Each structure stands twice: as C-alpha cells, then as structure tokens.
Amino acid sequence: MDYAAALEQKLGLKGISYRYNLSKEELFHAAIENDRGRVTVDGPDDAQKAYATKLGVNGPLVYYTDPTCTGRPVQDTFGVAWPEIDGTIWWKKDYKRFDPAKYEGLLQRVVEHVNARGATMFVKDVYCGADASYAVPYRFVGEYATHALFAHNMFPKDVAGVADEDKKRWTMLNVPSFRCDPERDGTASERAVIMDFKNQIGLVVGRADYCGVVKKTMFTVMNFLLPEMNEMSMHCSANVGAKGDCAILFGLSGTGKTTLSADPDRKLIGDDEHAWTKNGISNFEDGCYAKLIDLNKEAEPVIAAALSMPGTLIENVPALAGRSLADTDPQEFDLSDGSVTENTRFSYPLSCNPNVMEGAKGPHPETIVLLTADAFGVLPPISVLEGKDVMYHFVSGFTAKLAGTEVGITEPQAAFSACFGAPFMAQKPPVYARLLAEKMEQQNARCILLNTGWSGGRHGVGKRISIGHTRALLDAALAGELDDGKVEFETHPVFNLKMPKSCPGVPAEILNPRNTWEDKTAYDAQAEQLRDMFRKNFDEKGFAGLGIEPVM
C-alpha cells in the first residue's frame, strides 16, 4: 500500500497535498518557503520560522520554535491509557494518562482540521534503530518541512531486513496549527504530545514545535517496545576502543556523557539513545542533537565544523545585532547568546563525525559507566559497583543541579532521574534494572560509578575534579586496571561504595573524597546529608516495593 492510501486508512487524511521523502536540499528550500508560525511572544502566527545563512543551501537551516516551546513540553506529554497497557506504563507527573475516549475525539478533530485546510503535509519515512532485529519504521507526517529535515538528520534511512514493516510502523501526525480546547479535549493546555501504543500513533498538536519532540517521542516509544522483546533500551552514549572493547555511559545533562564518549582513541556509536540486544549495542539514531549554548569550538571541533555543513539544522540561536541571517556566516553566531533560550540546539548527521562505528553498531559492552556530577563534593571520583549496587544506583540516577543554574537555587540540589532518563522511560524502573543486570551477568561486564563533580568541598568551595583525572580514571576502568585483584579497595563508611586505593595517573589522596576536605567533620555531615537524600528518594519512589534492594 502506498503512503497516501496508508495514511487515509490509518488516520482518515483525505485531499492532502503531500510532499513525500524530499531530499535534504528540497526540504531546506521548502522550510524557508513554507514553515510559518509564532516566533515571538506577541508576534503573529504567520511569521517565517526557517532561514538560510550566508552559505545558503550549502550551509545549515536556522529555525525558531514558538517562544513557549524552546524545550520539551513535559507537562503536555501523555500516553493513551488503553486498558490493555494501563498497568504496564510507568505513569508520573511528566508522563500522564490520557483518557482513550477523549483521545479518539481529539484525533478525529485534528484530522478534520487538516483535511479542511487542504494542507500541504511533509512525509518522511525513516527508522528508529540501526539494527533490523528490532528497528521500528517511523513515518513522520507534519506541517513543517523543518521537522521532516530534522527526522532525516536524526534517524536511519535505510535499514535492510526489517520484517513486517507495515505492521510495525509508527506514524507521527504533527500539526502545530491546531489548538486544543482543554475542557473539550482533555489536554492540559492548547498543545499536546500524545503516544498511542495501541494504534502506533504519535499525535503532536498546538505550539509544540520544538524539534526534540520529533526525536524524544520515538525514544519513549522504543523504551516501551524493547523491554517487551526482553531487550534493553538506554539513555546513554556508547563507543568502542581499538581492541574492540565497547563501553556505554549513562548520565544526565551536565555529567559528561557526550564529552567523555567523544574520545579520539575510541570510535563513537552514538551520544544519546541506544539498544542493547542479543546482537550487541546499536544506536536508535543516525544523528546528534547537541546543545550549542557556550560551545567551546576548540574542545568540540566536530560540532564546530558541522555548523557550516549543508543540511544541518540550528535551532533558536539568535541573529547577530544589525545583521540579517542571510548575511551571517554560521561560524559568526554568538553561541553564548541565550536570549531566545539557554537550550539552543544543533542537529547534524553522525556522518559529520569522522570517527564513528560503521552502521552505528558495536559489540556487547565490557564496561558500564554510571556518570554523576556531585556538586556536594562528597562522592568518590570513582567506585566499582557490583550486583545490587548497580541496580540501586541505576534506578536512583543521581546528579546535582548547581547554584545559579535555575532561579531560586542558591546551593547544590540533588536531582534523581530513574535509569538516567525518567521522563522517557515508559515502563517501570525495575524492568530496565533487571534487563541491565541480566545482560551484565551474561557478558560479565564491569560497572563503575564515575563522579565528574566536585572535590575538597561543595560547589563554590571545592574544585571540580579535573577532566584529566576523570579521563585517567575512566581509561583505567576501561582497560580493566581496576578489576578485582589488580588494586586494593576500601569501603566508604557512609555510602558503602567500593573505592580503589590507587589508579594510574591519579593522585591516590583524591580517591577517598574525605581526604580532600580540610574540615573532616563538615565532610562527614555533608556525606550523611546526601545519603539521606538518596534514602528519601528511594522511599518516595517506592523502589523497595518494586524489588530493588537498598544499599546505603
């Protein structure tokens, strides 16, 4: 069945002018000509949203979202609570139930809206997953050519050997011009992002035009589907060393997930979303969606070079004062300008990176890294985790927000995000923890907790652990130099963590964090305070009742 007939059968779309699987060059021009909406708070709904730079089609497309949607609209994200899946989904404040009857009425109204407009819709057929054994065909259908270009950048286009494609296909209907009525439609506002696992539909309506919605919606879907196949979906980066040794790095924003995986001596599989299946590690994606705010071009040369490459996509970076975008070279942008949003972004294909694994796939990992950035300054720089420790720290997903990063935060704040990606984890945390433990045992993989945070005192008093020491610790772990029998260990009396007493290239005195504090009593008090935060999070999330053992 061709795509138009399939869309009429699945959604009821009729009388639509489709632009199907356009090239990146065609989408570039179409976005500038076609994409219209609001770009300033008091602005009109027909403003131009996409622009060329001085490089024209040989450079990036610059795109501006609605000013109320410069990041994922978390409070407007739902799953349809069909009875057959209601007990499986991990419902939470940033992934809430949506009434099935309300959803069916809303979907019908959105389709009627599109049909009545005789709209032009951009269709892009891609896949979510680089491995045919689990890859899901993904059909983007939307009003903006920019979003179709983003889908092209971010997802694999040709995955040979996927069986039953029509049966497995997910379809996203993305309609920014539709406005929800919360009272009538059951939404929280005039916009909504809704996942329908029964009918394999992602519905995006209203002012929800942040490009990340096109990506993270499918990541949430994969986090539901993979465990159903007894395979592991992960919010992590992954790379492979010269000896074929694979590592995966879990971590929340600001912990070093992208930086540490971008190692010149190791080939990158990907920096964000992966599967661990019977075939090894594979990327869900074919691109990267990097933060641009305060980008250090010397430290991130791949991203810097890609800023000038054709078919890439810059999101919400402001124009230079007194300069038109058409007269601006991409390298001239002020990447420290957060006047539109601190969450400026850049989408580019993996092929922009010269050091990637062919096919975005690799072998089973030998090392699992759980990253944290402890701004309280009390966790060890590195700890070796085993058994129940792995599951505890994986479902805790701890890092710390810094003073000054958000209004009202005047001292470090603990942040816990289960499985290092709670908003996207459609199933309950123990499901992923069990899969991780099983796969680690099958492959005899080691696990470390790597702290990229502070030492010698909390943020503002101590110093951040040097990137040189962090890389030396990581390199030693990857090489097996911290395995049992290779070094001596001691146990942290508060956190019950196994700490090495020595590591090549790292001063021994920093390995026990208490040694780095002048005031040992203050250290003990701060360590106990953080331990109590872990315990409180464990109790509030009900992890004990879900089969996770407390370890501190």
Buried b or exposed e, range 453-478, using 16+ CB within 10 angstroms: bbbbbbbeebeebeeebbbbbbbbbb
Burial of residue 508 (number of CB atoms within 10 Å: 0-12, 13-18, 19+): exposed
Give the DSSP per-residue string, 345-366. Answer: EEEEEGGGSSSB-GGGEE--EE
Active-site residue among 235, 458, 498, 541?
235
Q: Does any domain span residue 60?
A: yes
Active site (annotated) includes residue 417: no
Planar angle of CA 128, 133, 134, nearest 5 degrees: 40
Active site (annotated) includes residue 198: no
Query: Is residue 142 within 8 Å of 121, Cβ to Cβ?
Result: yes
Domain hosting 307: range is: 289-318+332-352
**H helical segments located in 444-551:** 467-478, 520-540
Q: Does any domain span residue 359?
A: no
Active-site residue among 10, 38, 49, 72?
72
Query: Is residue 544 within 8 Å of 538, Cβ to Cβ?
Result: yes
Q: Are residues 212 and 237 in the same domain?
A: no
Q: Does any domain span residue 383?
A: yes
Active site (annotated) includes residue 38: no
Q: Are residues 379 and 448 in the same domain?
A: yes
* C-alpha closest to that of 22 among 95, 159, 126: 126
Query: Is residue 194 within 8 Å of 59, Cβ to Cβ?
Result: no
190 C-beta neighbours (distance < 10 Å), count: 17
Q: Does any domain span residue 323?
A: no
Bridge pairing between strands 170-175 and 201-205: parallel
Active-site residue among 215, 345, 364, 458?
345
pLDDT for 453 equals: 94
Q: Are residues 145 and 58 in the same domain?
A: yes
Active-site residue among 171, 258, 277, 328?
258
Active site (annotated) includes residue 345: yes
Active site (annotated) includes residue 272: yes
pLDDT for 410 equals: 55
> CA separation (Å) from 525 to 303, 377, 532?
42, 12, 11
Tokens representing 68? 């109320």
Q: Coil, helix or strand for 122? A: strand
Q: In what order do the strands lie in the sheet with 17-20?
A: 17-20, 120-128, 136-142, 170-175, 201-205, 192-196, 77-80, 96-98
Place of tokens 């986090």: 223
pLDDT for 402 equals: 63
pLDDT tens for the chain, 552 residues long, are 799 999 999 999 999 999 999 999 999 999 999 999 999 999 999 999 999 999 999 999 999 999 999 999 999 999 999 999 999 999 999 999 999 999 999 999 999 999 999 889 999 999 999 999 999 999 999 999 999 999 999 999 999 999 999 999 999 999 999 999 999 999 999 999 999 999 999 999 999 999 999 999 999 999 999 999 999 999 999 999 999 999 999 998 878 888 888 888 999 999 999 999 999 999 999 999 988 999 989 888 889 999 999 999 999 999 999 999 999 999 999 999 999 999 999 999 999 988 999 999 999 999 999 999 999 999 999 999 998 999 999 999 999 876 444 445 556 789 999 999 999 999 999 999 999 999 999 999 999 999 999 999 998 899 999 999 999 999 999 999 999 889 999 999 999 999 999 999 999 999 999 999 999 999 999 999 999 999 999 999 999 988 899 999
Q: Are residues 386 and 437 in the same domain?
A: yes
Q: Does any domain span residue 380?
A: yes
DSSP annotation of 263: -
* C-alpha closest to that of 143 among 172, 120, 109, 126: 120
* C-alpha closest to that of 423 among 86, 77, 97: 77
Which CATH number goes with the domain that contains 461?
3.90.228.20
Q: Are residues 307 and 417 in the same domain?
A: no
548: Cβ contacts below 8 Å, ≥ 6 apart:
388, 391, 392, 395, 429, 430, 433, 538
Distance between terminal CA atoms of the chain? 57
Query: Is residue 213 within 8 Å of 194, Cβ to Cβ?
Result: no
Which neighbouring-strand residues pair with 121? 18
Q: Does any domain span residue 357?
A: no
Place of tokens 């002012």: 207
Query: Is residue 28 within 8 Å of 57, Cβ to Cβ?
Result: yes
Query: Is residue 261 within 8 Å of 268, Cβ to Cβ?
Result: yes
Report how far residue 103's alpha carbon sits from residue 455's, in angstroms, rounded to the nearest whole number. Answer: 50
Which neighbouring-strand residues pair with 362? 281
Query: Is residue 489 within 8 Å of 481, Cβ to Cβ?
Result: no
Q: Are residues 431 and 509 in the same domain?
A: yes
Q: Are residues 299 and 374 in the same domain?
A: no
Active-site residue among 49, 124, 257, 541?
257
Which CATH number goes with the domain that contains 195?
3.40.449.10
Active site (annotated) includes residue 253: yes
Q: Does any domain span residue 381?
A: yes
Query: Is residue 370 within 8 Å of 250, Cβ to Cβ?
Result: yes
Q: Are residues 240 and 295 in the same domain?
A: no
In tens, the pLDDT along 479-489 reads 999 998 899 99
In tens, the pLDDT along 210-260 reads 999 999 999 999 999 999 999 999 999 999 999 999 999 999 887 888 888
Report how far residue 107's alpha carbon sits from residue 87's, in angstroms, rounded to the nearest whole number. Answer: 23
pLDDT for 255 equals: 87
Q: Does any domain span residue 379?
A: yes
Q: Coil, helix or strand for 384? A: strand
Active-site residue among 124, 207, 216, 498?
216
Q: Are residues 98 and 175 in the same domain?
A: yes
Which CATH number goes with the domain that contains 338?
2.170.8.10
Report how far residue 464's alpha carbon sits from residue 488's, in angstroms, rounded to the nearest whole number. Answer: 25
Question: How many domains is the chain partitioned into structurally?
Answer: 3
Q: Are residues 372 and 346 in the same domain?
A: no
Tokens representing 356? 């990637």
Q: Are residues 440 and 491 in the same domain?
A: yes
Tokens representing 469? 């020491």
> CA separation (Å) from 67 to 89, 325, 343?
31, 19, 12
Let me know how many helices (H) and strands (E) the chain has, helices first. 13, 30
Report how far residue 298's alpha carbon sits from residue 300's, in angstroms, rounded to the nearest whole number. Answer: 6
Active-site residue among 196, 272, 286, 389?
272
Report how far residue 174's alpha carbon sits from residue 66's, in angstroms, rounded to the nearest whole number. Answer: 14
Q: Are residues 205 and 88 in the same domain?
A: yes
281: Cβ contacts below 8 Å, ≥ 6 apart:
238, 246, 248, 269, 274, 275, 361, 362, 363, 364, 365
